[in-house]
Amino acid sequence: MSIPTEAPLGQIPRDRTPDGILRRCPRLVAHVIAESLGYASPTLAARLVANAAAGQGNWCEWIMACYGGDARKAVRTAIRNRRSHRGYMADVRQALALVRHTAQHGDPTLFGSWF
């Protein structure tokens, strides 16, 4: 399956660190954040993309609860639902601004929705 916003899943950049993914695939990372309804921070979303590209699982509670630990399934769902990422808690434009800020300044955004 190919990623329409950047590169095919198997061709994610060789630099699969969160910083590398943030810089090279910002729209994909933003769609993962939007799909998570804001649960995923930019760094976590970048890790999920890297895990999906490598065929690895991820054990964060969102991925475990919704996708059984399958990061690829989460990223594919974010891609499939990309046209619906608008509105409260799922706005891809706001997520993309967070991703670009994190990529530029290198400071991961801390979310605390449970406070």
- pTM equals 0.82
Strand partners, 57: 70
User: CA 19 → CA 45, 66, 82, distances in Å?
Assistant: 11, 25, 22
pLDDT digits (tens, 9 = 90+) for 71-107: 999 999 999 999 999 998 899 999 999 999 999 988 6
Residue 14 has pLDDT above 90, yes or no: no
